[in-house]
Amino acid sequence: MLSSDQVLHVARLARLELTAEEVERFGGELSKVLDHIELIGQLDLEDVPPTSHVVDVENALRADEPRPSMPVEQALAGAPDAADGGFRVPSPGAS
């Protein structure tokens, strides 16, 4: 069973601000899923290489030639707060 401290730690890593109710609920739900997942602990995986990608593909390279990029206005069109050709955000240091 995940403790609420563990849930809060993971939430901090994931940049999620959970409500007290969510902390309690996720603790129980994630523990149940992890119990099922832990079945793979029974397998002997000593000499098995990991698979991160199923297709045998070497580096896909292209010619290093300049190409037009998306215009700045278009890239900023969906921004919640665009200013001076960039994305405006609250100060990291503010509290």
Partner 1 sequence: MIELTAKQAADAIRSGALDAKEYFDFYRERAAADPYNSYVWVADEAPEIDTSKPFAGVPIAIKDLFCTEGIPSQAGSKILEDYRPPYTATSVQKLTRDAGGTLLGKTNQDEFAMGSSTENSAYGPTLNPWDTTRVPGGSSGGSAAVVAGATAPWSIGTDTGGSIRQPAALTGIVGLKPTYGAISRYGMIAFASSLDQAGPFTRDVTDSAMLLSAMVGADPCDSTSLGLPEPVRIPTAQDLKGIRLGVPEELSGEGIEEGVLKAFNETLEIAKSLGATVETTHLPHAPHGLAAYYLIAPAECSSNLARYDGVRYGLRAEGAGSLLEMYTQTREQGFGAEVKRRIMLGTYALSSGYYDAYYGRAQKVRTLIARDFTNAWEKFDFIVTPTAPGVAFELNSKTADPLAMYLNDFCTVPMSLAGIPAISIPNGLSEGLPVGFQIAGPAFSENRILDAAFALEQAIGFDGSKAYA
Neighbours of 32 (CB within 10 A): 11
Q: Is 20 in the site for partner 1 (CB under 8 A)?
A: no
Q: Is 32 in the site for partner 1 (CB under 8 A)?
A: yes
Q: Is 5 in the site for partner 1 (CB under 8 A)?
A: no
Helical (H) or strand (E) element with 86: strand 86-87
Q: Is 77 in the site for partner 1 (CB under 8 A)?
A: yes
Smallest distance from the beta carbon of 20 to partner 1, in angstroms? 12
Among 55, 65, 69, 84, binds partner 1 (CB under 8 A): 55
